[in-house]
Structures are given as C-alpha cells and as structure tokens.
Amino acid sequence: MINHSQIKRNIIIAQCAGMLPYCLISNGFILSYLSKFNIASDKILLLLSISEAIIFLLVIPAAFMADRIGKKIVGFTGILFNLIGFSLLLSLNYFKDNSFNIAFLAFTIYGIGFTLFSATWMPMLKPILKEEERGKFFGRLRSTWQIVAIITTFFITYILSIQQGIKTFQLILVGVIILAAIRLPLYCTIPELEKNTSKGESFFTSVKSVIHIPKYLSYCCYLFLLMLFTYCIPSLLFLLEKDKLGFSADQIIWMGNLLAIGSIIGFATAGKLIDSYGTKPLFLFCHLFFAFIISLILFRSLSPLPIFFTMGFLTFLFGFTLAALSIAKTTELLHLIPEKNISLAGALGVSLFAGGSALSTMISSKILSLKLLNTEWVLFGITMNEYDTILFGCCLMILMLTVTLGLVPSVVGKSKDYPNIN
C-alpha cells in the first residue's frame, strides 16, 4: 500500500507523461507532420477539431457512466484508446493515398480516449487531496507537466532543425508514445476513494438536476460563445505561418513553445488577480487583450522586427491571455458545481466549451475549403489574406461578446485550477 506522498508523486509523473501527445497536437508538431502527407490546410483544421467534437458529444455520457461503474475503469479505458489512436498516426506513411482517412480514424480514437479520461480525472483526484492542499497541488501539477512539455518541445525543435524528414517525425512520435504509456501503470496505483453515487437516478434525471443548478447553464453558454471565437486562433496562426509566412516545421514548433511559456506565466498571474478582484474583471481583460493581440497580428508587417520575432512575441502574449481565461473559467466552474453528480456537473461545462471549440475550428475549416474568402485584399493599406480575414472576424466577435459578461456570476476568492486538459 503506497502512502499519500507517493500517490501525489505518481499523479504528477503520470500527467507529465500522459499529456505529451496532447502537447504535440497543440504545439504545431502534428500540424507539420500532417502537412508532410499533402493534407490540405482546411482538412488539417478539421482533423484538429475532432477531439473537441467528441468531447462535446461523449463527455456527459462518459461522466454519467463513471459515476455509476467507477471512475478508474473508465479513465483506464480512456488511456488505452488515447495510446491506440495516437499510434495510428505512425501508419500514415504506409497509406499515403488514404492519409486523411487514416488520420481521421486516429483522431477519432484518440478523441474518445481523451474524453473518457478527462471526464474522470478531476472527480477522481478531488477526494484524494485535502481541501487545503488542492489549490497548491493542482497548480504544481499543471506547471510541472507544462514545464516537461516545454523541455520536450525544445528537444524536438532542435532535432527538426537538423532533419525534417518523415522518418524523423515518426521517431519522435514513437518516443512520445513510449513515454505516454508510462501513465498506465502509474494510473493503476491511484486509488478511487469516492465510490459510485446516485445509482438509482436515470441519466436524464441526473442531467436535469445539473441543468437546474443556479446560474450554471447560463455561464456555460457564455463559455460556449467565447470558445467559438477564440479556440481556432492558435491553429490559424500556425497555418498562417506555414502557408503565408514561410515558417519551417521547427519554427512553427517554436511558436507552440512560446504559446506554452506564455501560458505558464499567465496561470501564475491570473490566479493572483482572481484572488484580488474576482473573475469578471479578468474575463473583461481577456476580451479586450484578445482583440488587441489579433489587431497587432493583422498589422504585423508594420513591425520593425523580423517576422519570426514579431509573431513569436504576439504568440507569447496570446498564450498568456489564454491561460488567464482558463483560470477564470475553471474557477467559476468549480465554484458552481455541487458535490452530487460531480462528474456529470463538471462534464456539462466541459461539453459546452468543447462544443464551442469544435465548431470554431470546423467553421474555419469549412470557410477555407469552400474558398469563400479572397486570398489577397487590403485593409488600411496593408495586404491581408484569407487567414487574416477569419482572425479579423474573430476579433470583432470577441469585442461584441463583452455584452454577455452579465452571464458570469463573478467569484472573488481563491483561484482554482482545473486539473484536466487545458
């Protein structure tokens, strides 16, 4: 029987290893890898949206199932699916004529696994940790796996700066899959202290009780709208850099690293701001700063710095703002959800902002595939492209969404970190 300190250590190591595949998706590595198989940019955007779409569709049933048959077995199944799906990406080299279909299957299996694990992770950890240590531990958990991810990404960037062939990408994938598999035995050592609850309630009865939580559904709707116009932006920036600015694969991954570094600093700063002022002022800051950053991206050609440094700095700022938004939204989420049906209640919030995230990327993908936008146009004397058009639309909508801030109850108190995904 392992002691409490060993359990916490295993949780951190398991998360550091298990989140590496997610990091390769979010930092531009997988985007660059898929480009090697001549998959069009709009289809890459579609593939990157699959995980969020599956979370939207399955996270509530997965959470309900976890509350009934056990969180640990559902989470373990999720890890297996996660590894299988990610491993399928290795086979793209053998099915070049059907690379999109194989990638679609791989992302679907990965998304199912990610959903099953995410639906159980926070509810499984919450009873293990004493209330007074949760905030500190969750902050340590997030910062540790992100630092590991950044170090790993630096190493990958160095390798790709030397060699960018398909074999190199696949060797990196194999290494990450092996490291991610470490999560399986470590996960088995984590106890499930909170046993199955509410066995007598039907699925729809449980969902109905969650929907009637005061202010919860309106807040989740706000998150849906916010994610609809912000989630696609990092992927659009990576594609802009690949297709229009001529960045190499290692340079794109450098941008992903700067996004992550900005996030780490943003997490630390946002927590202190919430403790002092509450979440609503921070949400307002995020709306205004998102619009400011996107405006600078649109007029990047006016910068006296080389384009790589300009985009790097703006990507860093965007990561900082995304992290601030993440802390604000999860602090509200954890404040509003009740103890009963905690997995299901948390899953409803995750489902709605995953739905907004998936639609964000899917709509952008469809706009690009239909070629509805001019590939070249002029704004205040500056030449823009189709990616700039979508970014400009997101900027306007983010500003307009400031009127929906009335849906945020605004918590003032200890900031909380959702130990789940981003």
* 129 lies in some domain: yes
Burial of 77 (C-beta count, 10 Å sphere; 0-12/13-18/19+): middle
Q: How far is Cα 216 from Cα 335, in angstroms, rounded to an integer? A: 10
Residue 384, strand partner residues: 377
* 66 lies in some domain: yes
In this structure, are residues 331 and 409 in contact, taking their beta carbons and an 8 Å threshold? Answer: no
Split into its structural domains, the chain has a count of: 1
In this structure, are residues 110 and 81 in contact, taking their beta carbons and an 8 Å threshold? Answer: yes
Q: Give residue 121's domain range.
A: 4-189+203-407
Contacts (Cβ under 8 Å, ≥6 apart) of 132: none
- Reference 61, options 204, 266, 219; nearest CA is 204
* 414 lies in some domain: no
Q: How far is Cα 274 from Cα 277, in angstroms, rounded to an integer? A: 5
| Residues found in the chain | 422
Q: What confidence score (pLDDT) does residue 265 get?
A: 87
Q: What confidence score (pLDDT) does residue 408 get?
A: 67
Q: What confidence score (pLDDT) does residue 420 get?
A: 46
* 420 lies in some domain: no
Task: Taking each helix axis as running N to C, give the angle between helix 386-400 and helix 279-298, from 0 to 180 degrees, rounded to the nearest 10.
Answer: 150
Q: What confidence score (pLDDT) does residue 102 get?
A: 94
CATH number at residue 396: 1.20.1250.20
* 194 lies in some domain: no
Q: How is residue 203 written in tokens?
A: 């699925």
Q: What confidence score (pLDDT) does residue 379 get?
A: 87
Q: What confidence score (pLDDT) does residue 131 get?
A: 67
* 251 lies in some domain: yes
Residue by residue, pLDDT tens for the chain (422 residues) are 678 788 888 999 999 999 999 989 988 899 999 999 989 988 999 999 999 999 999 888 888 788 778 888 999 999 999 999 999 999 998 888 889 999 999 999 999 999 999 888 877 887 787 766 666 777 778 778 888 988 998 899 899 888 888 999 999 999 999 999 999 999 988 887 766 555 556 667 767 777 777 777 888 888 899 899 999 999 999 999 999 999 988 899 999 989 989 988 887 787 777 777 777 888 888 999 999 999 999 999 999 999 999 999 999 999 999 988 888 887 777 677 665 666 667 777 788 888 999 999 999 999 999 888 888 888 888 899 999 999 999 999 999 988 877 766 654 444 454 444 44
pTM of the model: 0.84
Q: What confidence score (pLDDT) does residue 182 get?
A: 92
* 421 lies in some domain: no
Q: What confidence score (pLDDT) does residue 80 get?
A: 94
Q: Using DSSP, state whether 247 is helix, strand or coil.
A: coil
* 243 lies in some domain: yes
Q: What are the distances in angstroms from CA 175 to CA 7, 19, 53, 76, 92?
A: 25, 13, 27, 21, 17
- Alpha carbon 404 to its chain centroid, in Å, reads 23
